Structure 1
Amino acid sequence: MERTDYSSITAQAVALTEGETNLVANLSNLSAILDMALADINWVGFYLFEESSEQLVLGPFQGKPACVRIEPGKGVCGTAYATQSIQRIADVHQFEGHIACDAASNSEIVLPLWVNGECIGVLDIDSPNYNRFTEDDEQGLQHFITRVGETLSNI
């Protein structure tokens, strides 16, 4: 598999989000950018923390319909949010408590999304391939989500 050019993807994402104050519009474009740029994925999108329900709620995404609400600490997304750490899972079927929204997903990476010093949710990317996400992907996506969080600070 070709190496993904995360620098280019990040530059495109920053250019699209800089100056735009609508969170839904920005996250919609970000999920579309990643969906176009990443090979061998079947779902990419955001779950946002909702204060009133204390749950992660489905946000903008690309892919099949997904689970709408996830408890912090549950599944890969809830674990990433609760621990505020990246979860890179080679085989989701081996992850205790995995929430299977799409039976075709076999690996997953989830990154916390920080805006203005607050974790507002997570970026979730699924693949039908086992062990799809590498250390390079993790580092590239971490840079992507950090830069995006900075540009979203005007929201």
Structure 2
Amino acid sequence: MAEDLQILQSADKAAQYQSLLPQIEALIQGETDLTANLANIAAALKEQFKWFWVGFYLVKNGELVLGPFQGPVACTRIGLGKGVCGAAWQQRKTLIVPDVEAFPGHIACSSLSQSEIVVPFFKGDEVVGVLDVDSELLDQFDETDALYLEELVKMIVF
């Protein structure tokens, strides 16, 4: 198991992901505890990119329930179709929101959050959770983030 991350600061975003994803895979490989893996994934992403908030919500009893995260305290439960997380869950696709204030029904867990990306992950055909990332900057996320974060969530095993 490798607990030390090699953080690239000067590389472009794609290179940072290309360096980080194999490290995350090595970190979670062989570990069967979902909570431990999600916690390490959130920590690795926060460490690499210095985003405001990185975490997971898991589908439980018909709602998204807060899971492991890095950042300030967060909303605990989110309904289907509610906010960016609930919308990504309902639509079964990654949502990139350049300005959260312009997103209809945005749930402001923190007024400091300015942009967001939410990536659903699946067990078979069923959405079982979402990776939620918030930034204090407007327009922080793009298709590069979507591509690599979608690859990352495929590593999550239930």
TM-score by length of 1: 0.89
**Which structure ranks higher in relative contact order (CA pairs < 8 Å, sequence separation ≥ 6)?**
1
Structure 1 consecutive aligned stretches of length 4 or more whose deviation exceeds 6 Å:
none
SS in 1 for 2:68: strand
Distance 1:107 1:13 in 2: 24
For structure 1, which runs of at least 5 residues remain unmatched after alignment? none
Distance 1:75 1:44 in 2: 16
1:35 and 2:46 correspond? yes
Q: Which residue of 2 aligns with 1:13?
A: 24
Q: Which of 86, 96, 99 is the matching residue for 2:104?
A: 96
Distance 1:2 1:110 in 2: 24
- Cα drift, residue 115 of structure 1: 3.1
Q: Which residue of 2 aligns with 1:46?
A: 56
Distance 2:98 2:153 in 1: 20
Q: Which residue of 1 aligns with 2:79?
A: 71
- Cα drift, residue 137 of structure 1: 1.5
Larger CA deviation: 64-73 vs 113-122 = 113-122
State percent identity of aligned pairs.
Answer: 44
1:115 and 2:123 correspond? yes
> Are 1:6 and 1:144, in contact at CA under 8 Å, matched by a contact in 2?
no
Distance 1:61 1:89 in 2: 20
Alignment RMSD (CA, Å): 1.4
Distance 1:9 1:117 in 2: 27
Distance 2:125 2:92 in 1: 12
